[in-house]
Amino acid sequence: MSKMNDLTSAFTQAFGLIGRLDTELLAIVGLSLEVSLTAVVLASALGLPIGAAIAVGRFRGRQPLIVVLNALMGLPPVVVGLMVYLLLSRAGPLGQLGILFTPAAMVVAQTILILPIVAALSRQVIEDAWHEYREQLRSLGAGPLTAAITLLWDTRFSLVTIVLAGFGRAAAEVGAVMIVGGNIDGVTRVMTTAIALETSKGDLPLALGLGVILLSLVLALNAAAYWVKEAAQRRYG
Amino acid sequence: MLPLVLDTVSFAINGRTIIDRVSVEIGAGPRTVILGPNGAGKSVLMRLCHGLLRQTGGSIAWRGANGGRQRQAMVFQRPVMLRRSALANVIYGLKVAGFSRTERELRARDVLEVVGLANVAERPARVLSGGEQQRLALARAWALNPEVLFLDEPTANLDPGATRELETIISQINAGGTKIVMTTHNLGQAKRLGDEILFLHQGRLVERSPADRFFQQPMSAEAIAFIKGELPWS
Ligand SMILES: Nc1ncnc2c1ncn2[C@@H]1O[C@H](COP(=O)(O)OP(=O)(O)O)[C@@H](O)[C@H]1O
Ligand SMILES: [Mg+2]
């Protein structure tokens, strides 16, 4: 009975935090969005052209590259965190940068985490379109670069959903940002690491509040992805 | 760039010969119709001529002045429309071909007017009807002002009304000085549009005649059978 009450009161307090826009909660959500949005922008800026190049290109090692890329989609976040930690730690090759335990390190880790997702999924989408477009584009005189740009534009709605999936994955992962960010209060604490910490400390309201926001975010992203595709399908065929 | 000269051109894939030693000279002027039953190799032959496939034997050459890909265009049986407006589809072709920005817009509006698509210029190309898409494909190719226009069964998926519309536009394009090379398996269409007939059967060029003669006095056994409806053609 009292357990039930605990839970009810934790939920009530959680919604209280959200309702009155608690500053600590807002700061954590804000940093989460900042880090993951930056990561997804970087991963897309690199991953979409890589995906298009592999889709359209004909070069040695293309098939092994695709296999590796697909496998990298399943990279465990803690492994990425460990790799980036080793790179950025004082003794590591990029230790000079001095960005370990800063949001910049978290951006690097999340970018590495979702780059293969954006590249591999966009490669698939663009290659499917390439099969359909190939002869037509060649007939019109388009070279590989023009073709790649054309395909990126023509698959734009599918690519948007891929980018949103990448963002969702970045915002929801905990292992990489925990290792390279360190979950420092007010500096590198994001939603997922805060939830992990507060839960272990027994501070359920903050953890729950963040959990509710994270869940809503993931839901909203999926709704957006679905809606973009549906609307585009209806409008552009 | 015409004439286009094919000298014992063959195309084989996976050990199967699809085009078998075709020799022919396609000159400027009359509308050339490549006629033959399904599977005869018409599409493959056209892709060879347009440079989308490479022959495995023989040679293909543009013998006239000003050769190269620039002055030829092709409309496919199933045209691919880009995910943008009808107008933008035409402009895209012009852009890739290197036309200036102002010229693109002018030419694109112009050809859409001629093919009767001016009123749907701003609509997404992929939601247009089959007939409209095929006319758009024709407009996109024609806008490039090609010397030769290859048409691969351009009306195969259209109803009779849309077919007539398209045939009218094709005749107009030809009247404007563009060489038409078209494939069809449809005798009626070959009669309506063909000035000369290349009859293809199992990858071989069996007969080449002016259209009147081909339909009145076909010379090969295959053509006779085809015209009598003894070869499957639909
Ligand atoms: N890329 C290809 N690979 C293997 N066989 C092909 C290919 N393209 C065409 N063919 C075969 O070549 C023959 C001629 O095809 P096609 O030129 O499309 O005939 P048509 O256009 O006269 O109906 C068919 O038997 C077809 O199956
Ligand atoms: Mg065909």
Q: Are A140 and B93 within 8 A, CB to CB?
A: yes
Looking at the CA of B77, name the nearest ligand: 2
Residue of minimum CA distance from atom 16 in ligand 1: B41
Query: DSSP letter string over A6-33?
Result: HHHHHHHHHHHHHHTT-HHHHHHHHHHH
- Which residue from A136, A142, A235 is facing B76, i.e. has the nearest CB? A136
- Looking at residue B231, its pLDDT comes to 65
Residue of A nearest to B75 (CA): A136
- Looking at residue B229, its pLDDT comes to 85
Residue B19 has pLDDT above 50, yes or no: yes
Looking at the CA of B45, name the nearest ligand: 1
Rounded to a whole number of angstroms, the distance from the CA of B223 to the nearest CA of chain A is 31
What is the tens place of the pLDDT at every residue in A23-76? 999 999 999 999 999 999 999 999 999 999 999 999 999 999 999 999 999 999
Residue B67 has pLDDT above 60, yes or no: no
What mean pLDDT do residues B134-140 have? Answer: 97
Q: Confidence band (pLDDT; 50, 70, 90) for B232? A: low
CB of B44 sitting under 6 A from ligand 1: yes
Residues 6+ apart with CB under 8 A from A155: A122, A125, A126, A129
CB of B148 sitting under 6 A from ligand 1: no
- Looking at residue B26, its pLDDT comes to 96
Per-residue pLDDT of chain A (237 residues; tens, 9 = 90+): 466 678 888 899 989 989 899 999 999 999 999 999 999 999 999 999 999 999 999 999 999 999 999 999 999 999 999 999 999 999 999 999 999 999 999 999 999 999 999 999 999 999 999 999 999 999 999 999 999 999 999 999 999 999 999 999 999 999 999 999 999 999 999 999 999 999 999 989 999 999 999 999 999 988 999 999 899 988 888
Could you say which architecture CATH assigns to the domain A2-236?
Orthogonal Bundle (1.10)
CA distance B54 to B52: 7
**Which residues does residue B26 pair with via DSSP β-bridges, in sequence order?**
B4
Closest of A89, A80, A136 to residue A108, by C-alpha: A80
- Looking at residue B68, its pLDDT comes to 52
- Of B9, B11, B14, B18, the residue with max ligand 1 atoms within 8 A of its CB, to mutate for a pocket test, comes to B18
In chain B, what residues touch A138 (CB-CB under 8 Å)?
52
- Looking at residue B65, its pLDDT comes to 80
- Looking at residue B69, its pLDDT comes to 52
ipTM over 0.90: yes
What mean pLDDT do residues B55-68 have? Answer: 86
| Residue B40 CA, closest ligand 1 atom number | 22
Question: Which sequence spans correspond to the domains of chain A?
Answer: 2-236
- Looking at residue A2, its pLDDT comes to 62
Q: Confidence band (pLDDT; 50, 70, 90) for B234? A: very low
- Looking at residue B70, its pLDDT comes to 64
- Looking at residue A237, its pLDDT comes to 82
Residues 148-187 of A with CB under 8 A from B: 150, 153-154, 156
- CB atoms < 10 A from the CB of A159, how many? 23
CB-based contact, B73 to chain A, within 8 Å: yes
Rounded to a whole number of angstroms, the distance from the CA of A136 to the nearest CA of chain B is 6
Residues 6+ apart with CB under 8 A from B157: B77, B78, B130, B134
Q: Are A140 and B47 within 8 A, CB to CB?
A: no
